[in-house]
Chains A and B, each alone.
Chain A
Amino acid sequence: MAVESQDINLLANDNRGKSQLEAGFDLLGWDEVTQGSVLPSFDGDATQVAFQKAEERTYSGYNSYTATVASWRVVKPIFNIDVCIDCQNCWVWCPDSSILSRDKQMLGIDYDHCKGCEICSEVCPTNPKSLLMFSEYADIETELSQWPQKQKKEKK
């Protein structure tokens, strides 16, 4: 069965993960930083934000949505949509909201914010798992083409 590799910008707003937290540019002077280090999450009126999809929201430059932390990651999850049963376990457990899901359909990973903690893979109940961890440098398409097979339960 042919499987497609995930679009890296799946469900992403234009500014998702654009800034590097550790890059040392765009630093402001004491006269420019916000009062009380209070950070507004959105540009403009955000009254309706709860009803908007992530890619429709006007995330501000202070929102972690617009920064990437991908450089910290050493292992990454790869998602196999053909095995997934859309149980949403990974979506519930992910500590960084990096599971991309829409209408209770699991779609992929937000690689700008996933830190490679492996929790999604750990809680995945399918056989074989729909989420497995690989080296950060592994090619998604290659790994999907050689996904492990279903394993029989060992008889006692």
Chain B
Amino acid sequence: MAVKYDLQEREVWDGNFAASQALRQADVDVVVAYPITPSTPIVENYGNYVANGYINGEFVMVESEHAAMSGCIGASASGGRVSTATSSQGFALMAEVLYQASGMRLPIVLNVVNRALAAPLNVRGDHADMYLGRDSGWIQFGAFNAQEAYDLALCAFKVAENHNVRLPVMVHQDGFITSHTAQNVYPLSDEVAYGFVGDIDPVDDMLDFSRPVTYGAQTEEDWHFEHKAKQHKAILDSTPIIDDIFAEFKKLSGREYKRIEEYDMDDADVCVIGLGSTVESARVAAKEMREEGVKAGVVAIRCFRPFPYEEVREALSGVKSIAVTDRSSPGGAMGAFYNEVAAAMMTSQSRPLVTNYIYGLGGRDISIENIKTIYKEQQANADAGYITTDIQQFTNLRGPHLGFFKTARG
């Protein structure tokens, strides 16, 4: 019998602590981990809960992140509820095994505390690791603050383990900004939280000796394509189930989540679309722009994979100029997020102007003033009817202006 954990109605938790509490309340059976900054406290706290009897689970310390995700796969294929956490270089070392987990359709929940990828070495938050996982076949949720890191981790288990989904889920939060900033968090009681997540109902579990199964089959050109197509359809088909689970969570908590969040968008002429903690800064900037007479709005992606193309198109169709903000070094292309949004808007009737801002690499701050400048440039685009700046620009960067690729629509 697990020891009762004393919870207040309102707690002051940082994002890491919030995520670890979700793991405790979901009664996670196995955490296999190799801790890395800034995600370390998530798995450290889980180990603490096991050691102090708050949870009947297994904490397995391994020799690398590659081994951590491999261990998670073994435990998940055995039929357990499994989770871990990582960041940055650890995420990169996990990358190979991430594809194994999704290909085998194992409902692992990975808490990713976003951090830049070296070189040069950096421990602060940007989205390079999150982008590295974008083709891995995992569902990706984005939390913008500690409360959301907690809420979405609980939702993640329920989505992943749903028999019509059976896909691993990442819950992203920004390194330090979210993971280490203590905020008010309103947790559910243990009973309500576990009642929401429910018992895991394993599929193809290897501990079912009445039905032995093979995991990790080899499929060459005559089989591989069909299996990957089925997997792609599964992740795209998960959207109504995610919506249902978010709706169910709202009934319990009063907190509403959507795969795409919209703020001040009803009459917006210009908007910033973003990911992660920057969304909250953009909301403040949009409010200030409205006081200056600019109809500014914010769109945020809650569910990065499966990417909500239709919802993005619908939300942005009435906007004249859109700033897509990418917090990852694009490495010789437009930002990956820009490409998703531009693809969605390409098929819209209105075809608004779409610009790309690279910002905040390695934890560089983006200020309200920076975002207001972005809004002003969008308003200038909207007034001119074409993109007046370089399509891709670097924001809050020292040195001469850095921008690339000019519009041919002017």
**Cβ–Cβ contact B211 & A35, under 8 A:** no
**Cβ–Cβ contact B104 & A38, under 8 A:** yes
**Cβ–Cβ contact B210 & A35, under 8 A:** no
Q: Does B229 contact A (CB under 8 A)?
A: yes
* Known contacts A35-B204, A37-B217; A46/B211 CB under 8 A: yes
**Cβ–Cβ contact A33 & B210, under 8 A:** no
**Cβ–Cβ contact A37 & B219, under 8 A:** yes
Q: Does A71 contact B (CB under 8 A)?
A: no
CA distance A31 to B230 in the complex (A): 7
Contact residues in A for B106 (Cβ distance below 8 Å)? 36
**Cβ–Cβ contact A37 & B103, under 8 A:** yes
* Known contacts A27-B222, A31-B230, A46-B209; A36/B214 CB under 8 A: no
Expressed in whole angstroms, the minimum distance between the Cβ of A118 and any Cβ of chain B is 24
CA distance A45 to B212 in the complex (A): 9
Contact of A39 among B103, B166, B217, B225 (CB under 8 A): B217
* Known contacts A27-B223, A28-B226, A30-B230; A36/B166 CB under 8 A: yes
Q: Which residue of A lies closest to B219 (CB)?
A: A37
* Known contacts A35-B230, A37-B103; A47/B209 CB under 8 A: yes
**Cβ–Cβ contact B217 & A40, under 8 A:** no
Contact residues in A for B230 (Cβ distance below 8 Å)? 30-31, 33, 35
* Known contacts A35-B230, A36-B204; A49/B212 CB under 8 A: yes
Contact residues in B for A49 (Cβ distance below 8 Å)? 212
CA distance A39 to B215 in the complex (A): 7
Q: Which residue of A lies closest to B229 (CB)?
A: A30
B interface residues, tally (CB under 8 Å): 26
Most B C-beta atoms less than 10 A away, residue of A24, A28, A30, A31 = A30
Contact residues in B for A30 (Cβ distance below 8 Å)? 225-227, 229-230, 233
Identify which of residues 77-116 in chain B touch chain A, using a CB-to-CB cut-off of 8 Å.
103-106
CA distance A47 to B208 in the complex (A): 9
Q: Does A93 contact B (CB under 8 A)?
A: no
**Cβ–Cβ contact A33 & B227, under 8 A:** yes
Expressed in whole angstroms, the minimum distance between the Cβ of B42 and any Cβ of chain A is 26
Q: Does A105 contact B (CB under 8 A)?
A: no
Q: Does B284 contact A (CB under 8 A)?
A: no
**Cβ–Cβ contact A33 & B223, under 8 A:** yes
CA distance A110 to B51 in the complex (A): 52
Q: Does B7 contact A (CB under 8 A)?
A: no
**Cβ–Cβ contact B105 & A35, under 8 A:** yes
**Cβ–Cβ contact A35 & B212, under 8 A:** no
**Cβ–Cβ contact B211 & A36, under 8 A:** no
Q: Does A147 contact B (CB under 8 A)?
A: no
Expressed in whole angstroms, the minimum distance between the Cβ of A65 and any Cβ of chain B is 12
CA distance A42 to B233 in the complex (A): 28
Q: Which residue of B lies closest to A24 (CB)?
A: B222
CA distance A60 to B203 in the complex (A): 18
**Cβ–Cβ contact A39 & B213, under 8 A:** yes
Expressed in whole angstroms, the minimum distance between the Cβ of B203 and any Cβ of chain A is 7
Q: Which residue of A lies closest to B167 (CB)?
A: A36
Expressed in whole angstroms, the minimum distance between the Cβ of A102 and any Cβ of chain B is 22
Most B C-beta atoms less than 10 A away, residue of A24, A36, A40, A42 = A36
Expressed in whole angstroms, the minimum distance between the Cβ of B238 and any Cβ of chain A is 13
CA distance A29 to B227 in the complex (A): 9
Expressed in whole angstroms, the minimum distance between the Cβ of A42 and any Cβ of chain B is 7
Q: Does A97 contact B (CB under 8 A)?
A: no
Expressed in whole angstroms, the minimum distance between the Cβ of A36 and any Cβ of chain B is 3
Identify which of residues 208-251 in chain B touch chain A, using a CB-to-CB cut-off of 8 Å.
209-215, 217, 219, 222-223, 225-227, 229-231, 233-234
- How does the 8 Å CB contact mask read for A8-50 relative to B, with 1 for contact and 0 for none? 0000000000000000100111111101111111100111010
CA distance A46 to B210 in the complex (A): 5
- How does the 8 Å CB contact mask read for B282-293 relative to A, with 1 for contact and 0 for none? 000000000000
Q: Which residue of B lies closest to A23 (CB)?
A: B222
Contact residues in A for B225 (Cβ distance below 8 Å)? 30
CA distance A27 to B215 in the complex (A): 19
**Cβ–Cβ contact A38 & B215, under 8 A:** yes
Contact residues in A for B215 (Cβ distance below 8 Å)? 36, 38
Q: Which residue of A lies closest to B77 (CB)?
A: A38
Expressed in whole angstroms, the minimum distance between the Cβ of A29 and any Cβ of chain B is 6
Q: Which residue of A lies closest to B215 (CB)?
A: A38
Contact residues in B for A40 (Cβ distance below 8 Å)? 204, 211-214
Most B C-beta atoms less than 10 A away, residue of A33, A37, A41, A45 = A37
Expressed in whole angstroms, the minimum distance between the Cβ of B220 and any Cβ of chain A is 9
Contact surface of B with A, Cβ cutoff 8 Å: 103-106, 166, 203-204, 209-215, 217, 219, 222-223, 225-227, 229-231, 233-234
- Other than the given A33-B223, A38-B204, A40-B214, 5 more pairs (CB < 8 A) read A30-B225, A35-B203, A35-B234, A36-B104, A37-B217
The 10 closest A-B pairs by CB, nearest first: A36-B105, A30-B229, A30-B226, A39-B214, A36-B104, A47-B210, A38-B204, A41-B212, A30-B230, A37-B217
5 contacts between A and B (CB under 8 A): A30-B233, A33-B223, A33-B226, A33-B227, A40-B211
